[in-house]
Copies of this chain bind each other. A is one copy, B any other.
Amino acid sequence: MLDERKRKILRAIIEDYVSDAEPVGSRTIAKKHNLGISPATIRNEMADLEVLGYLEQPHTSAGRIPSAKGYRFYVDYLMAPRQMSKKDILDISNWYQSKVKRVEEIFQETAKVLSTTTNNISMVLAPQISKCFFKYLQFLPLDERRSVVIIVTNEGLVENKIVEIPEGLMYDDLHRIANCINTRLSGISLDKIKASLLTEIQQDILRDPILFETALQVLQQALTTDDKKRRLYLGGAKEALNQPEFRDIERVKKLLTLLEEEKLLRDILYMDKTDKVSVTIGQESHFTGVNNCSVVKATYRLDGQIVGSVAVLGPTRMEYGKVMTILDFMCCHLSEILNKYKLGQL
């Protein structure tokens, strides 16, 4: 493990590089942070740090820049814990207060706040309805062949879907199906319904096998495709362009390509069970095409359940401390708002 002096130097280099985006040299370190040692000594240490893999040299006679490993070490061991100032917190609260008039806007505005405060691209995955608890459903008439199914969850999320009614099924039948389902499945989380449906309800509707079959069909229609639909909110494309690493049009193009590739984004955002803010540094494996980018990610809750996630995407040269703090705060705040207003009272 690194000794104290190496740590100090590594930390100094990273923080300088993060703020200036230029390779930092031994002289700079010696001057700015008075570590009580001369540039020459720092040079030796830097050479060591490079051999150990924490630093890189763009070319001979340039300063050093942190490697992914360097950032990792920084995030894990060196970073000073940051606090949000009272003012920042107040600003954000006020922002929500003034901007958010409707539920959907919460997520868009969250993305906006995140991207402006962190100067990076932000992503917000809206609550996953399938993690919510089923309350009841109801069939409403639309025309001869189709009906609107309304699904309401305990949390107050409402989902509507148009389904085709199988030949020969009357509205009375639909109501019976609805009643049956509602009494049986109320309170169960939606993503478990598909599985439990078969076994639970079977007995009840089994008397009428055709009815059972069709009910199943209709329900499947109604319950599928929830997650794909789940909205993804993005923000900060223009903020990202402020970062010097995006001077190069080609990188911008790759980035935008990524942002239009929803599947990839959803993969990135896919939620862990963990509550902690997680950091992924520059692994190219994950986000094809965009190199030297990091993702800071966190989840938020609704009624105690983890239902969505939030992330910031930027160059590896990122203010990890700041971003993590903000993200952590925003998640709590988001959970709070959602729980407080229970999706509808705004």
- Chain A residues near B (Cβ < 8 Å): 101-102, 104, 138, 140, 142-143, 146, 148, 150, 152, 156, 158, 160, 162, 164, 225, 228-229, 235, 237-238, 241, 246-247, 249, 252-253, 256-257, 259-260, 343-345
Contacts and interface: CB of A to CB of B under 8 A. Distances in A.
A152 B161 CA distance: 12
B158 A160 contact: yes
Given A142-B344, A146-B344, A146-B345, 10 more contacts: A140-B152, A142-B156, A156-B162, A158-B160, A158-B162, A162-B345, A237-B256, A238-B253, A246-B249, A249-B249
A156 B259 CA distance: 32
Nearest to A164: B345
Copies of this chain in its oligomeric complex: 2
Contacts of A225: 101-102
Contacts of A148: 150, 152, 158
12 contacts: A101-B225, A142-B156, A148-B158, A156-B162, A158-B162, A162-B344, A162-B345, A238-B253, A238-B257, A246-B249, A247-B249, A249-B249
Contacts of A152: 140, 142, 148
Q: Would you list the 7 A-B pairs with minimal beta carbon distance, nearest first?
A: A162-B344, A238-B256, A158-B160, A237-B256, A241-B253, A238-B257, A148-B158
A254 to B, nearest CB: 8
Given A102-B229, A104-B229, A253-B238, A146 B140 contact: no
